[in-house]
Every structure is written in structure tokens, then in C-alpha cells.
Amino acid sequence: MKSLVKAGLLIISVLTLLVACGGGGGGSTPGPVTQLSGVASKGLVSGGTVRAYKIVGEAVTTQIGSDATTAADGTYSINIGDYTGPLMVQVTGGTYVDESTGLPTQLNIQTQNGLRAYVANATSGTPLTAAVTPLTELAVQYLGTGALSPANITAANSKISNLYGVADIVTSSPTSGTYQSTLSAISSMSTGASTPVTVGDLLASMKTQIPVNQDPLPVTVGITKDKASAIANGSDIVTLTASVLPVKPAGTPVVFAITSGIATFEDGSTTYNTTMNAPTAKIKSATLGSVTVTATCAAVSASTTITFGGAPVITLSVDKSSAVASGTDIINLSVTSTTNLPVGTDVTFSIVSGNAVFGNLATTYATKILASPANTAQATILSSVNGDVVVKADCQGSSDTKTVTFGNGLASYASLKEALGPVFVIASDASIPTGTIVNFTATGAGTIRVFDGNWSKTGAYGTSAAPSVAAAGTFAGKAAVYLRCNSAGDVTITATRQGSSTPIGTVTKTCYVQTSSQNVNVSLTPAGAAKLGSNTVTKLWFNIVAAPGTSTSAIASYGSAVAVEQKNAVTTFVNLAPNTALTSSTPIFTATYAYNPSPATFTVMPIGSVTLSGGSTVTLTSSDFVVQ
């Protein structure tokens, strides 16, 4: 009996051992997996690359899990398997909308290493949250790259959390409360400062202020303004905003004071008392000169200077004084000022008389002074009706007008500036019936061939070509040829209707040798992509406009599945029908332009509304696009 009992116990022990080892020869069972997720924010980072790295031996080592890409709301998620222990999360690349300037900003330009966060401990099978922000980056810089024990990581994260009044810089949401206010203040003190600095430079300065003991963090005050100059008319307002680090409670007093120059706040005083609940003030002046304003909170001050001057003198210029009344041949408008108007200054274009519309297909177009091309505002105008058009630009009480003419006749559909081409040349006359042959001749530095829709330098180019007037399509009612430059110099094209000895018109173009070419990628900003959501886009029209006077050629090549029409030397019309959802992480259009002698800058001007599946529409503006 005892032998049977012993044998039974032995069998149970063996079975228990086999179960503990995973059965008979099946290998070890992997532990439960861990999902690492969070939000990358310096402004919500869209299209950033997120990687997680093991910390072994108190140092950052190998990557765990695959790369992840942040969504438009900054969120990310990585499967880090059954890893247990401390780790580092790093976000590089991508763009965010800066809280201070409101402009799309590339993360890598602002921070050399992107943004990082140390996490004290991951436990296999337990979901893990890690925000990646300037505050977690500050904790990383404070701790350094050695002695990365869980205890040291926890201590560094806790120190930065306590100093800036955030519950936990790693696990708290950076999109609300004190955390969000702190990130906004960091923007105000870096990119939004009177003398802007990068976020990376500001963090390096903030690191030097971290006390080594339990002392509180020194208060830092910043002051930003919505514009650096205003008109001295007693009504043009400059809005000032104070930022304080660490963020103070809502009721903390903030005092704005005019410390030099002649101006008043909106209530007529030279001192304005408010609180951190709304730390803003507005000033105005009727006297020419500079005004210095100081913001004080917790006995710490910061100052900024505003210049009040006369109304700016603006100049409205055009890239050409006439165009074909085709509804597609555009004239580029540009506004400049001798006073170098600040970026963001409002400019309004309007049609005073005549029949024409702007690129938005309306008779008014509101835009702003752009940083590129430097301190200019731009618009395009087109018409399908013959006649003169008077166009006007208004800016801060100053205006200028130009008269342009739309009509028939021979026109270059693109001014070739180099030897890459080709370029459309159009013969148009309302009296020419469909099917009529038009004889083109070319003399000088270029040759021509009949337009056939094939965008290429190759083909049967010669000194003459005889296309017929098209019945439909892009050039309905017109005859068209391609022009190709063969050498540097002028080329003259003449068009004559068959059976007539009177030319429709003559145009002379200059060919230049190509210096080089530049790739152009058009993408949506995170804000633009957010307007579209996850909806399928069925129609998206826009113009790509190079700066007036640029040496850029007609488009040389472009991506497939896109209808492209080169309107003139500086404008490309794109008719996009992607039939898919669009994001900010993938370019929606790519092209190559040649130039001589230097590359151009480009702006996207949407045409009409974006059509979504189901027939609904969304309106995009130029600020919803990025050209790189």
C-alpha cells in the first residue's frame, strides 16, 4: 500500500513539473504583452515617429516594439511585448500648431533630439501611459543619460512635476489644466517671444534654473504681442499676453504698465490690473513713436516694445497686365509695403469694376501678409469675359489699385524660364469656329509641336505646327502648341488662322539655361486634415503659386493620378480626385520645377470647396496646406 502511495505522489510531482514547464516539450510560454500609449504634445504633434527603448544597466540600449506614428491628436500606441523594466520613449519629426504663433511648426527644427520621456518601470501585461512633452524632455535633460535607475527616473520626473505644479508629467494628460497652460507658456517664452528662441534653447535655459534642493522654482515671466507695430490713430489695438512659469493660480494678480512712450490701455489708463485668469491687456496710441509695456507677476517682470506709426503705404503689383479671357488664365497679384508689414497683417483684395473673380471664385479675397515670400500678400485673378478689370488691395487704412485686361488673342500659357519645359502657347479668337486650322511658326531659340496632352520634351518639334481649334476639354475654342527651348535666348511664336494672312497674334519668350530643379511636396497641415476628418475626398482643387517675378519654369514633372494644368510661369492648377481619406502625414501632390538662377517659394491657394463622399463639402484655406 505504501508503495502505491509513493508511486502516486511521484506521478503527481512529475505532472506538476511538466505543467510548470509548459507541457511535454512545448517550450516556455511568453508573458503577457504590454501596450504603451500616450500623447506627444508641444502643441499636438502630428506625423511624428515614436520609438521605445530599453534601459538596461542604467543606460538606454535597444529599441523595443516597432515604430509608431502620432495621429493628428498627438496620440500613439506601441506594443512592447512582455518587456519589464525602465524605458525611454522618443518622438522625432512631425509637425504641431504652435500655441503662441498659431503656425504649423516642425518639431525637429525646435528640438534637436525631438522630445523624450523616461518611464521608471514597465510591467509585463499592464497597460502603460507615457506623455512625451517639453516637461518630460526637461526631466530627461535634468537626469542625463547615466544612472538611469527606476528610483532616479522617478525622482527626476517627480521633481519636474512638483516644480511646475503638474500631478505627473508622464501619466497626466498634457491637453488640459496646468499641464496644458505650462506648455502654452513655454511657447510664449520661446517662439512667441519678442526675440524668438527655439524650444530646445529655452529648455536648456530652464534646466539651469532647476534648484538642487527642495527650493521652489524661480518665477519667470514672459510677454507676447499679437503684432509688433500698429497705426497711431487711437483705435488700432495691440493685444499683450503675460505668461508665467511655473503656472500661477487663476486669481494671481498680473499688472501691465506703460513704462515709456505715449499710449493707453483700453480703459484709458497707463496701468492695467488683471489676474492669471485672463492675463491680457490691450493698448492703443494716437502718437507716433515706440511704447514699452511691462507685465509683472509675483514681483517678476518682463517687457516688450511696440511701434506706433502712420498708415502703411502699400503697393499692388501684377505679374502681367493682360490675360486670355478663358476662365483659367490667371494674373498674379502681390502687395508689398515700404514699412515691411508684420507677418499676419490683414490684407483684403476686391474687384472694383469689371467681370473677374479671385482664386477662391469670389469677388473679394481676404488674406494676410506672409513670411515667404518675405512680407507680401498674394492673390490670383481670372475671368472668362473680355474687358478691363480694376482690382484693389486694402491694408490698415492704405489701398492701391491696378487695372488689368482680359481678352482674346495669342497668349503664352506659361512663360518658360529654362530649357526643360514644355509650355503651352495658346491661340484664341472668339470668331474662330471649332476645327479651324491655326498655323503656328517659331523663330529663335525654341521649337514647337501640336498640343496632344502628353507633357514631354520629346516629340516632333519644329519651326511650325498646325493644330485645330478644340471643341471640348481644357482648351475648348482654342488652338494650342507646346513650346520647347533649345538654347538660351528669345523665341518668337506667331499664329495665323488658315485661309487668312492676318496673324492672330505674336508673342516673344526668353529661354534660359536651367540651373537646377526643386521638388515640391504639398501636404495638409494637421488642422487641415482635421477639417476633413476620416471622410473620403472626391474633389480637391487648388493652385500652386510661385512668388511673382520668380525664375521658376513651368512644371517639369508631377505625380500620377492627378490632373495638372500649368497656367503660367508661376501657377499650376491641380485637380485632385483621390477618392480616399487624406492625412497630414502623406503629401497629396508632388512635382518638380526647374529654375534659373535660384529656387522659388510657393503658396497653395484653394479653389472652391472640397467635396466629400456623400456630397458634403468642407472649405480649406491657404493656411491648411504646407509646401515643402
Burial class (CB within 10 angstroms; exposed 0-12, middle 13-18, buried 19+) of 592: middle
Q: Tell me what the mean pLDDT of segment 513-521 comes to.
A: 77
pLDDT higher at 571 or 17: 571
What does the pLDDT look like over 265-290, one tens digit per residue? 999 999 999 999 889 999 999 999 99
- Of 358, 354, 361, the C-alpha closest to 406 is 354
Whether the Cβ atoms of residue 93 and residue 129 lie closer than 8 Å to each other: no
**What's the CA gap between 420 and 486, in Å, rounded?**
9
Helix (H, G, I), strand (E, B) or coil at 107: helix
What pLDDT score was predicted for residue 408?
57
Q: Tell me what the mean pLDDT of segment 308-319 comes to.
A: 85
Which residues, in sequence order, are bridge partners of residue 221?
244
9 has pLDDT over 50: no
245 has pLDDT over 50: yes
Task: Specify the pairing of strand 602-612 against strand 537-546.
Answer: antiparallel
**What's the CA gap between 291 and 621, in Å, rounded?**
35
503 has pLDDT over 90: no
What does the pLDDT look like over 36-77, one tens digit per residue? 999 999 999 999 999 999 999 999 999 999 999 999 999 999
566 has pLDDT over 90: no
Three cell numbers, residue 375: 512680407
What pLDDT score was predicted for residue 607?
85
**What's the CA gap between 444 and 433, in Å, rounded?**
30
DSSP 623: G
What does the pLDDT look like over 389-403, one tens digit per residue? 999 999 877 889 998
What pLDDT score was predicted for residue 413?
41
**What's the CA gap between 47 and 124, in Å, rounded?**
28
| Angle, vertex CA 166, rays to CA 160 and CA 168, nearest 5 | 75
What pLDDT score was predicted for residue 29?
57
Helix (H, G, I), strand (E, B) or coil at 4: helix
In the structure, what pLDDT confidence band is assigned to residue 16 with cuts at 50, 70 and 90? Answer: very low
H-run or E-run covering 94: none
In the structure, what pLDDT confidence band is assigned to residue 487 with cuts at 50, 70 and 90? Answer: confident
What pLDDT score was predicted for residue 102?
78
What pLDDT score was predicted for residue 68?
96
What does the pLDDT look like over 568-598, one tens digit per residue? 556 777 778 888 888 988 898 887 777 767 7
Question: Which strands, in side-by-side order, build the sheet including 423-428?
Answer: 409-412, 423-428, 478-485, 446-450
**What's the CA gap between 470 and 122, in Å, rounded?**
69
Residue in this structure with the C-alpha cell 479668337, named with its chain if needed: 429
What pLDDT score was predicted for residue 396?
79
What does the pLDDT look like over 150-179, one tens digit per residue? 999 999 999 999 999 999 999 999 998 999
What pLDDT score was predicted for residue 428?
65
What pLDDT score was predicted for residue 600?
76
User: Cα torsion for 359, 364, 367, 369, to the nearest 10°?
Assistant: 100
In the structure, what pLDDT confidence band is assigned to residue 560 with cuts at 50, 70 and 90? Answer: low
Residue in this structure with the C-alpha cell 497679384, named with its chain if needed: 333
Provide the residue type at 154 as one letter. Answer: T
370 has pLDDT over 90: no
What percentage of the chain has pLDDT greater than the value 70?
A: 84
Q: Tell me what the mean pLDDT of segment 356-377 comes to.
A: 85
Three cell numbers, residue 243: 505668461
Whether the Cβ atoms of residue 114 and residue 70 lie closer than 8 Å to each other: no
What percentage of the chain has pLDDT greater than the value 90?
A: 42
